[in-house]
Structure 1
């Protein structure tokens, strides 16, 4: 299992914790809807939406802002890859505006 290891040295003793990745397998059967040039579009959108939802749980405002910046960049990349006519939105407004 992959993880992020976080270590602290307290009174000369090193303490480490492995923070596990939480991954739920996502698979969509191919379907004949746009964008035809981006087979993993729904899978990628599901992952980005899930990260966005979890980002609201980040307590540090600087970390949260950097995470949201990365999400906005991911949305831009997805829209560019998908091509004209694809607008990615989430309930509550455009992802680009958050």
Structure 2
């Protein structure tokens, strides 16, 4: 990611590294048949939700949290009524 800011008419760009652990589950299954990437998608959403708590600007944080909520809702809908996704961490 790169953020560019213009100071005194000159553009300065700053590189921000992305921290991402490669997630590869290989062949999913045997269940759920209708959503084989359920666990992978849920883990990514949960990780983003956890990191989003560190966003300092309240408006940006709330926007990201709304997107995460929409993502969990979409995953729940795709997974179907026999699956329950609880985004609240236990422990």
With structure 2 as the length reference, what TM-score do the two structures score?
Answer: 0.85
Q: Deviations over 1:27-62 (max 9, x none)?
A: 2352334x2211111110110000001011000000
Q: Deviations over 1:5-41 (max 9, x none)?
A: 21111122211112222221112352334x2211111
Higher strand share: 1
Specify the SS of the correspondent of 2:16. Answer: strand
With structure 1 as the length reference, what TM-score do the two structures score?
Answer: 0.80
Matched pairs, number:
88
Structure 2 alignment gaps of length 5 or more: none
Structure 1 ranges of 4+ moved more than 3 A: none
C-alpha distance in 2 between matches for 1:67 and 1:18: 21
Query: Is 1:70 aligned to 2:67, yes or no?
Result: yes
Among residues 76, 88, 91, which one is paired with 2:89 in the alignment? 91
Quote the offset at 1:84 in angstroms. Answer: 1.0
